[in-house]
Each structure stands twice: as C-alpha cells, then as structure tokens.
A and B are shown apart, each in its own frame.
Chain A
Amino acid sequence: MSPYLGLPLLVFLAGLQGWLAQTLSPTTNLRPELLLLAAVACGLLGGYRAGLVWGALAGLLFDLGSAGPLGAGLICMAAVGCLSGLGQAGGPRFNRLLPLQAAALATIVYDLLYMLLLQLSGWGFNLIVAIYEVALPSALLSLVLMPAVYGPVYWLWHRARPGREASR
C-alpha cells in the first residue's frame, strides 16, 4: 500500500479510536482497537513484512496517544501484524471469514502481549480477570468492527500498491 494513502488512513483511525474512547467512556469500558485491526488487515493483504511495517507504524501512533510506556504498542502491533501475515499463506484459497477470525485472535494475542509489557513497566494485572474483562470483550468487538476496517484497507491496497504503475 502506498504510504501516501496508508499513513493518512492510520492517522484517521488513530483519531477515530481516540474519539470513540472519549465518547464511549461514560457508558462502557470497551475500547475499539481500530489501529490493531488495520495492522492485521495489512498483514493479511501484504504478508508478514507489510504486517510488520504497518503494525509498527500503527503501534507508534497508538503509543503517542497513550499513557503507557512508549514502544509497547509498537512492539505488540508489529508482532501481531507480522503474525497476521501468515494468514496470507492461504493464497488463492483465501477464506472470506479469515479476516474476522484473524481479528479476534490477533486482539487476544495483542492484549496478552501488551499486558505483559505493562506488567514489566510497573502496572499490575490479575491476568485471568484482565483476559475475561478486557481481552475477550475486545476480541468480540474486533470481530464486529473488522469488516469496517478491512474494507477500506483492502480497497486502498488494490487501488494504489507501490509498483503497480511501474509494472504496467
């Protein structure tokens, strides 16, 4: 995906994620992980390298808006984006449900990794409670939101891939 399109999309998703966090705060603890979903979508569409790069960028944007340790989001999203790239191995036999499954699974893995890094930085969690109260509801929310993120990323990916014009 062209960085000229991908970066604005990530910045937009970061802003939207922050706005949703602000808006949802009085009613629920749930937070949509839009940047993570974008990283997963990039991994699924472009392979593990694309997942790694776009995941790192998404993580960096997340860290800039978070009170957590700088770099924790970057590491976790890069790792999850990279792992999502393994889903591309399906190639032509791409399953339409794969993005949804990947979104749910990636959210759980991401939350566990992020909790681990927060623990190392002085935050304290009851892991079982955090999985039950944060990771699983977030995974369900990601499952619902994935089509809304995957659609635009898919469109941008096929609309303006680097080298597309050169190959013509």
Chain B
Amino acid sequence: MFTRTGLLAIATAAVVLALVFIRIPLLGDAEGYAAEVLSPIEKTLGGSFGVFSGVATTLTRAAELRTENERLRAEVESLRSASVRIQELEHQNGELVAELNYQKEHPEQRLLPANVIAREPTDLIHAITIDKGNRDGVAVGMTVVTPAGLVGRVLKCGPLSAKVLLVTDSKSSVSGLVVIGRAQGMIYGRRQRQLTMRYIDQLDKIEVGQWVVTSSMGGGFPPGIPVGKIVFVRQRDVEPFQEATLEPAVDLAKLETVQVVTSFLPAQVP
C-alpha cells in the first residue's frame, strides 16, 4: 500500500511531531540555545525593519513635516521678537516709573520729558541734542535731569530741538554741596567722563563715597539734585583748598531720555 519513500516520510513526520509535542528535555535545551543564537539576529532584523519602516513613514510625511517645521520656525521667530519687545517695554516702563517717582518727590518742579536724538560729533565737546525746543517751552539755561541726577543745562535752543551741555563738559560749572558735612565747592567737567569739585574749604571734612548735590549758590541750578559721588579726595596742607574727583550720578554715555526742568530758570546764564 505504501511505497518505501512514503513510509519514510510518514516516519519522519511522526518523529518531528513527537519532538514538538512530547518535548524531550534534551530538545528543550537545544531550543534554548537556538533562541540565544537567534534572538540578537531577530532583534537586529526587527530594528532594521523598524528603521526602514520609520524612513518610509518619514518619506510619506515629508511634506507635512516641512510645513510643520516652517510653522514652528515662524513661531520661534515671532516669540523671539515678542521677547525683545517685552524687554524693551520693561526697560521703558522702568524709566517711566522712575520719572514718575522723581516727579512725585519733586512736586515743585515742572518737568518736560525729552528723548536724546543725537550726540556731539566731536569728543572735544560733551553735549547731546534733545527732541524738545522753544515750541515746547524749553529755553537756554534750563536744567536737564534724569531720575538719577543732573545731566546738564540747555546751551542752544531751536524751535524743535535743543542742545544740552553735559555736566562733564569742560565748559560746565555747577555749584555743589556735599550732603554729609555741607562742604561747598564748584564742580567742573573734565575729560574721561568725570567731574572735579574745587574750592572746598580745608577745614571741611569730606570722604570718598559721599554724595554731592547742586547748591542754591549762584542760582544756576535748582538745589538738591544729585551730581555725583566722591571717588577721590586730594588734600594738601600747602594748598588753600581741597579738591575732589566725582563720578557723575548719571551714566551720561547711555542717556536715552531726560527731563527738562521748565519751572526753573537760572539767575544768570553764563
């Protein structure tokens, strides 16, 4: 009935089935070894298939991803721009709050806010140009301040703009008063953006770190405006007066906005 080959095939199948279903222990070990050998290969193949699958997905979604990328880039640019705007607004807000506080502290002064629009084209003169002039009530000799202190005084005035001589200019002179000790002197501008206070009485005690404000002497500036802080004192017994070097209260190199004191006109414009 069965040929010899047929019988051999049936016997082989029976042996295989027996190995699979009966699970001879020896075969179990063999399976384990086979799994040990095959699993890394399977993993690698599986990973490769995963990569290929990812690439295929990416290729199919390329256009979509490009659009999304462009949208995100635009969003980042927009957020960056908004961040810069917010920083600038914070800066402006800080300045305005300081100006408002200064106005509250000095209700006797009428202040006109102005923007710095230009600087002196030569280093021999320390001056700035502001965007307020005659038409806004600015006049020659008026004091210019910031919440931090004295900036200078109006030197020239046009209808729409005015030139302000900074307190550090060599032509500038301000009558000053040391807050602690009440020592008086004249403050002159000097190069390197510093000030020199001269004609301080030898008997007056002045120290580094003390603040100097404008004095009512001479009537050139409203009294009590901070001018600078003493950074060096030169006192020699052989000289009739002491001399002090001041650091200006205002960072004059970075001025953006100032205020013109329109309620005070000097007694005499030098």
Enumerate chain A interface residues (CB-CB to B < 8 A). Answer: 14, 17-18, 21-22, 25-26, 29-31, 33, 35, 62, 65-68, 111, 114-115, 118, 122-125, 129-130, 133-134, 138
Q: Is B123 an interface residue (CB 8 A)?
A: yes
- Residues in B92-134 with C-beta less than 8 Å from chain A: 118-125, 127, 129
Nearest chain A residue, comparing its CB with the CB of B155: A67
Listed by A's residue number, 28 A-B pairs whose Cβ atoms lie within 8 Å are A14-B121, A18-B119, A18-B121, A21-B119, A21-B120, A30-B123, A31-B121, A33-B122, A35-B121, A62-B121, A65-B121, A66-B120, A66-B122, A66-B125, A67-B127, A67-B129, A67-B156, A67-B165, A68-B124, A118-B124, A118-B125, A122-B270, A123-B171, A124-B171, A125-B170, A133-B191, A133-B192, A134-B123
Which of the residues A17, A21, A30, A125 comes within 8 Å of B124, measured between beta carbons? A125
Contact: B124 with A115, CB < 8 Å? yes
Q: Is B37 an interface residue (CB 8 A)?
A: no
Which of the residues A22, A62, A133 comes within 8 Å of B118, measured between beta carbons? A22
Pairs A-B, 5 closest by C-beta atoms: A67-B127, A67-B163, A21-B119, A123-B171, A26-B253
Which of the residues B121, B124, B165, B191 comes within 8 Å of A111, measured between beta carbons? B124
A53 CB to nearest chain B CB (Å): 21
Q: Contacts of B124 on A, CB cut-off 8 Å?
A: 68, 111, 114-115, 118, 123, 125, 130, 134
Contact: A17 with B121, CB < 8 Å? yes
A139 to B199, CA, bound (A): 36
A138 to B124, CA, bound (A): 11
Q: Is B254 an interface residue (CB 8 A)?
A: yes
Nearest chain B residue, comparing its CB with the CB of A34: B121
Contact: A31 with B253, CB < 8 Å? no
Q: Return the CB mask of B139-178 against A: 1 if under 8 Å, else 0.
A: 0000000000000000110000001110001110000000
Nearest chain A residue, comparing its CB with the CB of B162: A67
Q: Contacts of A66 on B, CB cut-off 8 Å?
A: 120-122, 125, 127
Contact: A68 with B118, CB < 8 Å? no
A33 to B122, CA, bound (A): 8
Other than A18-B121, A129-B191, give 15 A-B pairs with Cβ distance below 8 A: A21-B118, A22-B119, A25-B254, A30-B123, A62-B121, A65-B129, A66-B125, A68-B124, A68-B125, A115-B124, A118-B124, A122-B270, A123-B125, A124-B170, A125-B124
A80 CB to nearest chain B CB (Å): 14
A133 CB to nearest chain B CB (Å): 6
Please judge, given known A-B contacts A67-B156, A67-B163, A122-B171, whether A25 and B121 are in contact too, CB under 8 Å: no
Contact: B123 with A31, CB < 8 Å? yes
Q: Contacts of B156 on A, CB cut-off 8 Å?
A: 67
Total chain B interface residues with beta-carbon distance under 8 A: 24
A68 to B123, CA, bound (A): 11
Q: Contacts of B270 on A, CB cut-off 8 Å?
A: 122
A21 to B253, CA, bound (A): 11
Q: Contacts of A124 on B, CB cut-off 8 Å?
A: 170-171
Q: Contacts of A68 on B, CB cut-off 8 Å?
A: 120, 122, 124-125
Q: Contacts of A67 on B, CB cut-off 8 Å?
A: 120, 125, 127, 129, 155-156, 163-165
Q: Contacts of A14 on B, CB cut-off 8 Å?
A: 121
Please judge, given known A-B contacts A26-B254, A122-B171, A129-B191, whether A65 and B125 are in contact too, CB under 8 Å: no
Nearest chain B residue, comparing its CB with the CB of A24: B119
Q: Contacts of A21 on B, CB cut-off 8 Å?
A: 118-121
Q: Contacts of B118 on A, CB cut-off 8 Å?
A: 18, 21-22, 65
Q: Contacts of B191 on A, CB cut-off 8 Å?
A: 29, 129-130, 133
Q: Return the CB mask of B175-208 against A: 1 if under 8 Å, else 0.
A: 0000000000000000111000000000000000
B148 CB to nearest chain A CB (Å): 16
Q: Contacts of B192 on A, CB cut-off 8 Å?
A: 29, 133
Q: Contacts of B253 on A, CB cut-off 8 Å?
A: 25-26
Nearest chain A residue, comparing its CB with the CB of B127: A67
Nearest chain B residue, comparing its CB with the CB of A29: B123
Q: Contacts of A130 on B, CB cut-off 8 Å?
A: 124, 191
Q: Contacts of B169 on A, CB cut-off 8 Å?
A: 123
